[in-house]
Amino acid sequence: MPTVAEVLERAREVGRLRAQREVLRPPMEWAERHPVAALLVDAAPSLALVQTLVDLVPADVDDAGLVEMTAAWERVLSWATAAQSRTVAEMLRRTCGPREEGFLADEIAAATGVTPRAGRVLVDRAAALVRAPDVHDNLADGTLTTRKADTLCRVTAHLPVGQAAVVRRAVLAHGSRLTAPQIRATARRVELEIAPEAAAGRHEAARRTRGVWMEPADDCMAYVHAYLPATDAMRVMTAVDAVAAAAAQDDGRGVDARRADAMVDVLARVLDRGVGPDGVDLPVSQRRRPHLNVTLNVSTLLGLRDDPAVLAGYGPIGAQMAREVAAQGTWRFTLVDPRTGEVLERASKGYRPSPTVVSAVVDRAPTCTFPGCGVAASWCDIDHITPYDHARRDEVQTRTSGLHPLCRHHHVMKTHGRWSAERDPATGVTTWRSRTGQVYTRDPVAVPFEPGPPSTAPTERTLSPEPPF
């Protein structure tokens, strides 16, 4: 087994050879023909470089100059990311513990108009760069792009401090020419050379983070991602391939389409039957069995209009797709205000809302109401926007207008993180106030309805399909 010194020396030698090629100056005649490119090729990121790039008009720059302008802007982006991370790191330093550290991501997300998950990326990056100052320095001087820095921090995060530093030095010795996948492969190889026993532990740590998630896409489509151990991933693909291969010879679908349909068919049977693969009934959430939930108005259901529908957990979908779901489901009618489409007020006595009230709240707000959060209401807690006063239990305090779904994280943040929320029943807008006094709003999810003449009378026009219990 090579020693740490031997591994580092080998990496340095490769890095020196690459660096010699990287810093080889273009010939003088090239610089004379392309003065802008020659000016930018070695420019370090700084305010002066930003001003130079802003002053340049791309239409007036030759091809070589445009290439170097693009590379220079990339170095500036890395420099700015490093500066942003220093700011977030200072915010982390001022937090009072792990709980408030978790809430910091939500505050950044609300301030920048991104999802809490994206806010978490900024917090995690800042913390990682504090632990890896060498990576931060390479990011700040433009040697590493943001993706490369994130990759290097991520692939060494599981290692002890000393081993992580050795792996980072070996990777950074290669200079800036490694791509993110090459950084990942190089780090993995170096780790196996200096600490082969860590491989099994690394696999077990990664196995605990396995998961499946959905990412909405254009044209009423979506991506479903799965992060799995290699053997499990091959087990899934082998089964999908086997089901897809069973299609008739004259089936006109391509192999990828057959694979996609095979995966949906297998899992759709689980929902339709309400029974898991082990024969146990599926659990009930928000007093409903798991199901596909689409909301649309009667005219669209009957084909008289083509208003968009809302697929809970996804967002707007086309009328035809909604009608296809309707043809396979049963329907529950929901009363709405004909002027606004707002689900009408319902109430129950006592702290815990009744099934009718829960249904109305979930129909009105299909996701957590924190800005940017997309956790489906079926996975959320039903929270009293104004805390329930048990001293006034004889009064009706549990009303749909005073309730909203919150994922467990944001429920805890509201209860213990010094955040507060208010909801305007007339507009459906939820206003949040942070621990530091900033105000953020969350607009209601648009519910399709058929506007009628001004009236205060309820109309039974909004429908939500769900499979029979």
425 confidence band (pLDDT: 50, 70, 90):
confident
CA 145 to chain centre: 21
Whether 458 and 335 have beta carbons less than 8 Å apart is answered as yes
Q: State both tokens at 317.
A: 């979908």
Q: Report pLDDT for 230.
A: 87
393 confidence band (pLDDT: 50, 70, 90):
low
456 confidence band (pLDDT: 50, 70, 90):
very low
Instruction: Determine which of 82-91, 103-112, 169-178, 383-392 has the lowest per-residue pLDDT on average.
Output: 383-392
What is the average per-residue pLDDT within 312-325? 83
Per-residue pLDDT at 454 exceeds 50: no
Q: Report pLDDT for 460.
A: 35
Q: Report pLDDT for 48.
A: 92
Per-residue pLDDT at 459 exceeds 80: no
Rounded to whole angstroms, how far apart are CA atoms 385 and 360? 15
Maximum pairwise Cα distance, the chain = 89
Whether 45 and 176 have beta carbons less than 8 Å apart is answered as no
Q: Which of the two residues, 347 and 263, has the higher pLDDT score?
A: 263
Most confident of 27-31, 237-241, 276-280, 350-354: 237-241
What is the average per-residue pLDDT within 268-274? 78
Q: Report pLDDT for 124.
A: 94
Rounded to whole angstroms, how far apart are CA atoms 369 and 30? 58
Per-residue pLDDT at 340 exceeds 80: no
Rounded to whole angstroms, how far apart are CA atoms 113 and 111? 6
Percentage of the chain surpassing pLDDT 90? Answer: 35
Instruction: Report the alpha-carbon angle 102-401-412, nearest 5.
Output: 15
Q: Report pLDDT for 297.
A: 77
Residues paired with 275 in a beta bridge: 281
Per-residue pLDDT at 114 exceeds 70: yes
What is the average per-residue pLDDT within 347-366? 72
What is the average per-residue pLDDT within 363-367? 82
Percentage of the chain surpassing pLDDT 70? Answer: 80
Q: Report pLDDT for 9.
A: 61
Rounded to whole angstroms, how far apart are CA atoms 314 and 445? 11
Q: Report pLDDT for 446.
A: 61
Q: Which of the two residues, 62 and 328, has the higher pLDDT score?
A: 62
Rounded to whole angstroms, how far apart are CA atoms 240 and 223? 16
Per-residue pLDDT at 465 exceeds 50: no
Total H helices, total E strands in the chain: 18, 14
- Residue 335 three-state SS: strand
Q: Report pLDDT for 22.
A: 46
Q: Report pLDDT for 224.
A: 92
Q: Which of the two residues, 147 and 300, has the higher pLDDT score?
A: 147
Rounded to whole angstroms, how far apart are CA atoms 36 and 49? 12
Per-residue pLDDT at 236 exceeds 50: yes
Alpha-carbon torsion (182, 184, 190, 196), positive or negative: negative
Provide CB contacts within 8 A for 190, sequence distance 6+.
7, 11, 166, 167, 170, 171
Q: Report pLDDT for 286.
A: 57
End-to-end Cα spacing for the chain = 62
Question: Cα-atom radius of gyration of the chain, to the nearest Å?
Answer: 28
Please choose, from the candidates 154, 161, 147, the residue with its C-alpha nearest in 3D space to the C-alpha of residue 187.
154
CA 212 to chain centre: 12
Per-residue pLDDT at 91 exceeds 90: yes
Provide the pairing of β-strand 347-348 with 398-399: antiparallel
Residue listed under structure tokens 């590493």 = 144
17 confidence band (pLDDT: 50, 70, 90):
very low
Average pLDDT, rounded, for the chain: 81
Q: Report pLDDT for 268.
A: 82
Per-residue pLDDT at 205 exceeds 90: no
Q: Report pLDDT for 369.
A: 92
| φ/ψ (deg, to 5) at 394 | -75, -15
Per-residue pLDDT at 90 exceeds 90: yes
Instruction: Determine which of 34-43, 186-195, 222-231, 283-292 has the lowest per-residue pLDDT on average.
Output: 283-292
Instruction: Determine which of 272-286, 400-414, 442-456 has the lowest per-residue pLDDT on average.
Output: 442-456
What is the average per-residue pLDDT within 217-221? 89
Tens digit of each residue's pLDDT (9 = 90 or more) over 34-77:
889 988 988 999 999 999 999 999 999 999 999 999 999 999 99
102 confidence band (pLDDT: 50, 70, 90):
confident
Q: Report pLDDT for 44.
A: 92
Q: How many residues does the chain have?
A: 469
